[in-house]
Chain A
Amino acid sequence: MSTTTKNVRRGEARSGLRIRPQDKLILLLMGLLPTLLVLGLVWFPALATVVLSFTRWDGIGDLSDIKFIGAQNYVDLATIYPPFWPALTHNVLWLAGLFLVFTPLGMFLAILLDKEIRGTYFYQTAYYLPVVLSAALVGFIWQLMYSRDQGFLNWMLGTSIDWYGDSQINLWAAMVANGWRHTGYIMLLYLSGLKGIDPGLREAASLDGAGQVRTYWNVIFPVLRPVNIIVLTITFIEGLRAFDLVWVINRGRNGLELISTLVTANVVGEASRIGFGSALATIMLLISSVFIVLQLRVTMKED
């Protein structure tokens, strides 16, 4: 940001003037409430999740009923909880689908739309219209495509596949529906990054005789590093968070198990296993923290 902030000592206004005492209270109040809210409803629960994952608790009794049992929950997860490995596999496939198919597709569409094209407004709108819809509604709308008896897809292909019901296929069907929404988002982010590139850079590259593909890989792509990292982070976080669409289809059962649905089922379901669910949740936290750190390093570097 601005270079003038460099020499400012702590507790002072950016302009270098001292904060008046009567203003200190106002500033404190302005900062305190949001901070308490975020600490209390995001960071404390995150910490509590990690602690609870080493305990056994039915969640009904007093806090004194909590028993520490070490890493037993994690051992149980890996050994005697059948849905765990399928769920982890599904999460990895979900991520791979986003990362290998839909994110590149969004980037590719952005590159195409970055050229001077007649009707670009129509194309852009079509691609990112699904972005405004909730993932739950997307699951709903695609039911009209996927239904076995009345769906469009079976009519077109002449098949009678239960796309959402067949446990061999439904994960892929859900991934396509989810990709429909994801592609436009990535396209939009990437297009805004491309529009921000200095046109001189492109001209210089083309004067050097570089072809379009070469120009993109050697000049444009490296310059877009910040956008690339954001696209990467969003892809992974979205993949890990995937929940709504699958929950709407069948509450994450029968081939659609994901870590997020297992956590939820363990808490709001009939058998509430707090420690066990927390161990699952902690695994989610661990995976997501890798990308959060990556993202933070990029965004904070500039400050």
Chain B
Amino acid sequence: MSSNTIPATRKPRLGPGRLMLHAFLLATSLMFLFPLLWAVFNSFRNYGYTLEHGYMSFGGFTLDNYKAAWERGGFEQSFVNSAIITISAVVLTLALSCCMAFVLSRYSFRFNLSLLAIFVAANLLPPQSLLIPIYRMFRMVEVPEWISASGTLLNSHLAVIIVNTAFQTGFCTFVLSNYMKTLPREIYESAEVDGASIWRQFWGMTLPLCRPPLAALATLQTAWIYNEFFWATVLLQSGDKFPVTSSLNNLKGQFFTDYNLLSAGSVLAALPVLVVFFVLQRQFVSGLTLGATKG
């Protein structure tokens, strides 16, 4: 293979090594995609057809599984529940994290670092280890009927929202305060000379500059809280309150034998995060790596 025209550093020659590399990457990436594609493929197939011809056949395409899964799985209710929990928790998390990050990044207190440590470590604790006290606390807290029909915080959306917020605030505070520390301090000096209040410095100056990490965090947190399973499962007891992810547990019993229906239910549950993934991929990826690479 002659390569006197192509600079070797930019476009490597397609030697045997390269071919093997591509073969390996292609094979593994298809393996990674397969379980999801398999679910999508079978979700469009008639159960009777696959029963008769086996799963390794081709044909029997239908949309009926989606209709049946939507109705029998109670997706209408659980999507509403997911929306309530996810939107409230994400907005609350970002609002609180912005405030905390601003305080931590703009001002030096003696306990600054320990405060940040408290926030960062909180995000890493295993949630199951905190279950017992939280469960008892929530059962003791009485709330008005319009928040929870049970009269206590347990079995209410509010409970899931505040627990998720408490857990995610640590990570978001860490990421945002790192970002805010990189903002040029001259702008704050001149703002103070102009007599701008703290609130104006926060709301009018800092937040607009923090749009990139906020977009990334909002995307990431939406996916995470939508995907959150543990707290919703243990804190909500009635099926009509479950968000999509924790209602999967009930679906399993309902769709037990019909795997095409199960596939359709899986695809429906995955749809919101897949949309986030494909539409906001850049934000999602930068959100995932933000914490790791320190903004």
Contacts and interface: CB of A to CB of B under 8 A. Distances in A.
Chain B binds chain A: yes
A193 B197 CA distance: 39
A195 B228 CA distance: 30
A178 interface: no
A292 interface: yes
A270 B195 CA distance: 62
B270 A130 contact: no
Tier of interface size on chain A: 35 or more
Interface in A21-64: 22-23, 26-27, 30-31, 33-35, 37-46, 48-49, 52, 59
Nearest to B10: A116
B29 A127 contact: yes
A54 B270 CA distance: 42
B61 interface: no
Contacts of A19: 107, 198
B198 A23 contact: yes
A30 B101 CA distance: 9
**What secondary structure prevails in chain A residues at the interface with B?**
helix
Interface stretch (A77-85, A166-174, A180-188, A214-222): A180-188
Contacts of A26: 197-199
Interface of A: 1-2, 4-5, 8-15, 17, 19-20, 22-23, 26-27, 30-31, 33-35, 37-46, 48-49, 52, 59, 109, 112-113, 115-119, 122-123, 125-137, 140-145, 147, 150, 152, 155, 180, 183-185, 188-189, 192-193, 196, 226-227, 230, 233, 237, 240-241, 243-244, 247-248, 259-260, 263-264, 267-268, 274, 277-278, 281-282, 284-285, 288, 291-292, 295-296, 299-300, 302-303
Interface of B: 10-12, 21-22, 24-26, 28-30, 32-33, 35-36, 38-39, 42, 50, 54-56, 96-97, 99-100, 102-110, 113, 115-122, 124-137, 162-163, 165-167, 169-170, 173-174, 181-182, 185, 188-189, 192, 197-199, 202, 223, 226-230, 233-234, 245-246, 248-249, 251-252, 259, 262-263, 265-266, 269-270, 273-274, 276-277, 281, 284-285, 288-289, 291-294
